[in-house]
């Protein structure tokens, strides 16, 4: 992104493609992250980097607006990611609870564990349906900003909770790398941050509730 017309504020931002090998463009250090380590994140460094007008992506001055449209779609993807991680954490916890025995019984027979599993499954299903609805609205060509933010907000915060409960059900084993739930726990936090934090989603939703006819 680059400001191409300062007088137009956010309507003066344009998007450009910067080709690999362009003078002044290079990648920086690879970040060491809490989770999502299979997906590299690194710095992008631009120093006196000049590109031709032909590298304009979309219409001049529409870069910021286009980015917001991309965010709407990305929030549905992030919601789906959160549902998937939560489902994985739930299935691992369910399996463990059926196998782990204490006091002569599988811990899945204990009411406290059953309540956790019931709440986890219910919350995952609710998030899945919100995500499906937002995706259906997108495929139908409808305005999706509020629906995408709702799905992303609910699914991401639900997934953090479910992953936390999955670790809790595993007890001490949930804190070691021999079991998958510790990775789900680390990975899932990004879902409340990427494509706009939970706080931003609440602002977006509130703005549509207060200032739109949806």
- Which residues is 62 bridged to in the sheet? 13
Range list of β-strands (E), the chain? 2-3, 13-16, 25-30, 42-46, 56-57, 101-102, 105-106
Does the annotation count 54 as an active-site position?
no
What is the C-alpha R_g of the chain? 22
Distance between CA atoms of residues 161 and 168, nearest Å: 11
Tell me how far apart the alpha carbons of residues 17 and 167 are, in angstroms, rounded to a whole number: 43
Tokens of 178: 């021999």
Q: Under a CB-based contact definition with an 8 Å cutoff, are residues 53 and 15 in contact?
A: no
**Active-site annotation holder among 157, 165, 182, 195:** 195
The owner of tokens 């997108």 is: 138
Catalytic residues: 195
């Amino acid at each position: 992104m680059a400001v191409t017309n300062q007088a137009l504020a956010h309507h003066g931002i344009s998007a450009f493609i910067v080709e690999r090998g362009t003078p002044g463009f290079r990648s920086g250090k690879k970040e060491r992250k809490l989770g999502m380590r299979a997906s590299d994140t690194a710095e992008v460094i631009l120093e006196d980097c000049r590109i031709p007008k032909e590298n304009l992506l979309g219409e001049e001055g529409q870069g910021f607006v286009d980015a917001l449209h991309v965010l709407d779609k990305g929030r549905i993807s992030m919601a789906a990611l959160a549902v998937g991680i939560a489902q994985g954490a739930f299935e691992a916890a369910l399996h463990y609870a059926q196998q782990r025995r204490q006091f002569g019984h599988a811990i899945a027979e204990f009411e406290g564990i059953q309540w956790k599993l019931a709440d986890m499954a219910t919350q995952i299903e609710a998030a899945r349906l919100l995500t499906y609805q937002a995706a259906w609205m997108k495929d139908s060509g409808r305005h999706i900003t509020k629906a995408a933010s709702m799905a992303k907000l609910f699914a991401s915060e639900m997934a953090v909770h479910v992953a936390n409960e999955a670790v809790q059900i595993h007890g001490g084993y949930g804190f070691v790398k021999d079991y998958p739930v510790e990775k789900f726990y680390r990975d899932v936090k990004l879902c409340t941050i990427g494509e706009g934090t939970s706080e931003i989603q609440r602002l977006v939703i509130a703005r549509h509730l207060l200032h739109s006819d949806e």
